[in-house]
Structure 1
Amino acid sequence: MEIVYRTLIVLLAGYLFLRVTGKKAVSQMHTFDLLYIFVLTNIISTPVEDSNLGKAIIYGVITVILYKIFIRLSIHNKLRWILYESPTVLIRNGDIDRKGLKKVRMPINELLSHLRVKGYTDTRNIALAVMEETGSISVIPKSKYRPVQPNDLKLTIKKEYIPIPLIMDGQIIYHNLKYLKLEQGWLMNEVKKLGEKVENIMLATFLDNGKLFIDNNEIKSNKNNPYYYNPGEDN
């Protein structure tokens, strides 16, 4: 029981530390962010095998505080260029920057792989490719190779609307109902009109026209239809 107890405490402490730290440390990994995660992981995992649970928690708190101070300092531009690496140009105006590749220790085939992942196959079509300070690669194509925008065709389009989930996996999302100022009775009535039951609904969303869209657990049969081919032996 002691092992279970100690493990539970370590997991809860680690979770709270990361929540206090914020999303930045676990999503965009700068060098210091990665070091912080390694150090914190080592600190909070020590009590599983050792007896210094309280001391490890204190060390963890100190590490979190120091990291938060570091992040606050990095907001200032003068310190930011000292604390973090600068972005590195890999391609400029269709020409591969060999010095940039050498600096980030990236072979040509790896660069081409990153470009393919982003949908580009020819370096001549790239206006700028940069390795950001987080290690990710940003690619800006030349103007004539970028996707066509509605503004290019002088089209007027309506404002983008994101369908709001009201039911997910058979559970009603009450805070979204409250946000839309809708009653549960209205939702139940809409579900009933569509011949469904809440527990059978995978996803139900509120559309911009005020109607409810339902995606249930049922998959329509499309046997022998080539547009619904399933790879493997599931056909």
Structure 2
Amino acid sequence: METILVTFGRTLTGFFVLLFLVRILGKKQLSQITFFTYITGIALGNIAGDMVVHRDVKLIDGVTGLTLWMLLTMLVEYISLKSAKARVLLDGEPTIIIRDGNILEKAMASHKLNMDDLSMLLRNKNVFSIKEVEYAILEPNGQLSVLKKLDNEAVTRKDLSILSVPRKYLPAELITDGKVVKKNLTELNLTKEWLQNQLRAQGIQSLEEIFYAELQSDGTIHIDKRDSKGN
């Protein structure tokens, strides 16, 4: 029983310390958009795991290791933010893989890419033929950015000379499970009274009638009512 309680305590400590540190590191770390942030995430997870599982690792040593790794990561990120040369050294830089529709074999070889790899990356961008591609750029995080040839680009409203109406709002949820999402109302500069008036205009008398309501870009509200049978 004592062993279980110790493991439970170490697990809780590791979990919340890791969560706290990752939150401090920010969204870039969470998204793992570069090789460095990817490796950092793995290292933090390994340190936390060792702290929980290995009893010979003191709890304070584990927390110290996590904190020090976070501080070093923040230092490296600060340096890369201030120095373009350091940023290239730490994060790498984009590499053109296809230029003017031609595959650059040397660029592929330098990044250990074969044609199967390239085809897979292109399919992830809904491109199933090299012939469609004008430029393809391998980003530092290993993703491929693709610029299609003009003949293969999707037609836009501008191409068809269709008049576009400016969006009034960014679509956002206003009600979930019968409760108003006050944070979204505040960000959209809308009031609860405005929302109630909009609902009454659609014949809604009570929030309890609504399971989900979403503000549309044109200012209208999409409403999904509760199932009267409770299913």
Tell me whether the two structures share a fold, i.e. TM-score over 0.5: yes
Contact 1:93/1:124 (CA < 8 Å) preserved in 2?
no
Counterpart position of 1:58: 64
Q: Deviations over 1:77-135 (max 9, x none)?
A: 12222223232222111112222222222221232222223222221221111111111
Residues 3 and 199 from structure 1, CA distance in 2 versus in 1: closer, same or farther, beyond 3 angstroms? farther
Q: What is the one-letter code of the residue matched to 2:80?
A: S
Aligned: 1:69 with 2:78: no
Structure 2 CA distance for aligned equivalents of residues 30 and 185 of structure 1:
45
- Given that 1:128 and 1:140 are in contact with CA atoms closer than 8 Å, whether structure 2 keeps it comes out as yes
Task: Report the counterpart of residue 79 of structure 1 in structure 2.
Answer: 86
Q: Letter of the aligned partner of 2:90 in structure 1? A: L
In structure 2, distance between residues paired with 1:62 and 1:204: 45
- 1:152 match: 159
Question: Please, which of 169, 172, 176 is the counterpart of residue 164 of structure 1?
Answer: 172
How many angstroms does 1:169 deviate by?
A: 3.5
The letter of the residue matching 1:167 is: I
Q: In structure 2, the residue corresponding to 1:176 is in which secondary structure?
A: helix
1:231 corresponds in structure 2 to none
How many angstroms does 1:10 deviate by? 0.9
Partner secondary structure for residue 158 of structure 2: helix
Q: Tell me if structure 1 keeps the 8 A contact 2:95–2:138.
A: yes
Per the alignment, residue 214 of structure 1 pairs with 223
Q: Match of 2:210, as an amino acid?
A: I
The question of whether the paired residues in 1 share the 8 Å contact of 2:121 and 2:143 is answered with no
Deviates more, 1:41-50 or 1:7-16: 41-50
Written as runs of structure 1 = structure 2, the 5 A alignment for 1:6-21 is 6-21=10-25
Distance across 1 between alignment mates of 2:217 and 2:143:
35
Gaps of 5+ in 1: 219-235
| Pair 1:48 & 2:48 matched | no
| 2:186 match | 178
1:166 and 1:217 mapped to 2: Cα distance?
Answer: 15
Q: Secondary structure at the match of 1:127?
A: strand
Please state how far the C-alpha of 1:195 moved relative to its aligned partner.
4.5
Sequence identity, in percent? 27
Structure 1 distance, partners of 2:142, 2:122, is 14
* Matched residues, number: 218
Aligned partners of 1:95 and 1:124 also within 8 Å = no
Partners of 2:116 and 2:205 lie apart in 1 by 52
- TM-score normalized with structure 1 length: 0.80
How big is the shift at 1:139?
Answer: 0.4
Conserved? CA contact 2:32–2:38, under 8 Å: no
The 1:62–1:201 alpha-carbon spacing in structure 2 relative to 1, beyond 3 Å, is same
Residues in 2 aligned to 1:96 and 1:40: alpha-carbon distance in whole angstroms: 38
TM-score by length of 2: 0.81
Q: Distance in 1 between matches of 2:39 and 2:219?
A: 49
Distance 1:164 1:128 in 2: 35
Greater Cα offset, 204-213 or 26-35? 204-213
In structure 2, the CA distance between the partners of 1:120 and 1:217, relative to structure 1 (3 Å rule), is farther
Q: Relative to 1, partners in 2 of residues 1:179 and 1:130: Cα closer, same or farther, differing over 3 Å?
A: closer
Say if 1:199 and 1:109 are closer, same or farther in 2 by CA, change over 3 A.
farther
Q: What is the letter of the counterpart of residue 71 of structure 2?
A: I
Match of 1:105 in 2: 112
Note the aligned Cα RMSD (angstroms). Answer: 2.5
Cα distance, 1:34 vs. partner?
2.0
Long gaps (5+) in structure 2: none
